């Protein structure tokens, strides 16, 4: 441990002792408080959390350990926030996850989900933790860590559309999977919800995936149907084979203005990207 680390960890320990599962005690303007968990999800069991830090010697590993005092509760509560964003109620058709392996370790990248069936695994990079904590700001680290968890846990719990390609970086299937994950992250407040924010990429379209698609889905939830994200997730079961137009018509009605190209155009104009 170098000097910088020990000073950081002292500061962290002081703050962490007052935190419960890293809930920020005060929130700067730009960092959204964790959204409230609805009553119906408060006791929902998203699966057993198998948490471990596999690179405890790294600065990121030490920072995580100091800040997230109760990882099981932290991950479980954030899973409930994801679930209430994706589903209407615990009675919905929700993938039955028995175990969530959550591994903090040293690797190139930020975070990714693997595994399948009833067991998912999420890896989170110690290098990224260290970078996110560069200013010694625990609230920023929590905001970033929660944002990454929202994205990856969406992959654990989202429905999977059929007949629309594979996870290839360009198919409708891929844009649904990655677009929904970032829509949930925006809706839960861990990307800025202001469309003028630099968090929102410019250009692209609904097939671009990630934030480009995510902000579009979030806009639809604000402007077309407050349950849009839940209904969009459910189109994976109700629109087979799945397509963007099919999903939009299913949710918003088959009429002029509701093709995905028309809605994208309306969105781009509304947020001022298209003059």
- The smaller minimum CB distance to Zn ion, of residues 44 and 112, is found at 112
Identity of the residue, 148 or 260, whose beta carbon is nearer to Zn ion in the bound complex: 148
Least distance to Zn ion from the beta carbon of 151, Å? 6
Structure tokens given for 144:
């970033």
Which CB sits closer to Zn ion, 24 or 209?
209
Which is closer to Zn ion, CB of 117 or CB of 169? 169
Query: Using the rule CB under 5 A, which residue among 181, 190, 217, 239 binds Zn ion?
Result: 181
Closer of 123 and 178 to Zn ion (Cβ): 178
**Number of residues engaging Zn ion in binding (CB under 5 A):** 2
Task: State the nearest-atom distance from the C-beta of 145 to Zn ion, in Å.
Answer: 16
Fill in the per-residue mask, 107 to 146: x = in contact with Zn ion (CB under 5 A), - = not in contact.
----------------------------------------
Q: How far is the CB of 182 from Zn ion (least distance, A)?
A: 8
Residues of this chain, 150-179, that bind Zn ion according to CB under 5 A = 178
Residue nearest to Zn ion (CB): 181
Contacts to Zn ion from residues 190-229, by CB under 5 A: none
Rounded least distance, CB 181 to Zn ion, Å: 5
Residues that bind Zn ion (CB under 5 A): 178, 181
């Amino acid at each position: 441990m170098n000097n910088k680390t020990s000073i950081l960890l002292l500061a962290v320990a002081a703050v962490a002792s007052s935190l419960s599962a890293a809930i920020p005690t005060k929130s700067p303007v730009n960092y959204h408080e964790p959204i409230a968990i609805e009553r119906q999800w408060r006791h929902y069991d998203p699966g057993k959390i198998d948490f471990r830090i596999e690179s405890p010697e790294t600065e990121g590993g030490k920072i995580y350990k100091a800040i997230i005092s109760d990882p099981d509760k932290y991950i479980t509560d954030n899973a409930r926030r994801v679930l209430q964003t994706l589903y209407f109620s615990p009675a919905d058709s929700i993938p039955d996850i028995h175990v969530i392996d959550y591994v903090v370790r040293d690797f190139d990248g930020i975070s990714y989900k693997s595994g399948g069936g009833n067991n998912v695994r999420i890896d989170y990079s110690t290098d990224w933790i260290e970078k996110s904590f560069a200013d010694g700001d625990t609230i920023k680290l929590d905001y970033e860590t929660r944002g990454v968890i929202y994205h990856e846990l969406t992959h654990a719990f989202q429905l999977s559309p059929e007949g629309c390609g594979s996870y290839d970086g360009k198919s409708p299937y891929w844009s649904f999977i990655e677009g929904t994950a970032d829509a949930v992250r925006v809706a839960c407040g861990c990307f800025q919800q202001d469309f003028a924010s630099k968090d929102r990429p410019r250009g692209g379209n609904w097939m671009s995936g990630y934030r480009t698609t995510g902000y579009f889905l979030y806009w639809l939830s604000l402007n077309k149907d407050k349950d849009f994200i839940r209904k969009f997730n459910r189109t994976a079961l109700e629109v087979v084979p799945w397509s963007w137009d099919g999903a939009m018509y299913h949710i918003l009605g088959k009429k002029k203005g509701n093709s995905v190209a028309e809605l994208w155009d309306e969105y781009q104009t509304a947020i001022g990207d298209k003059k």
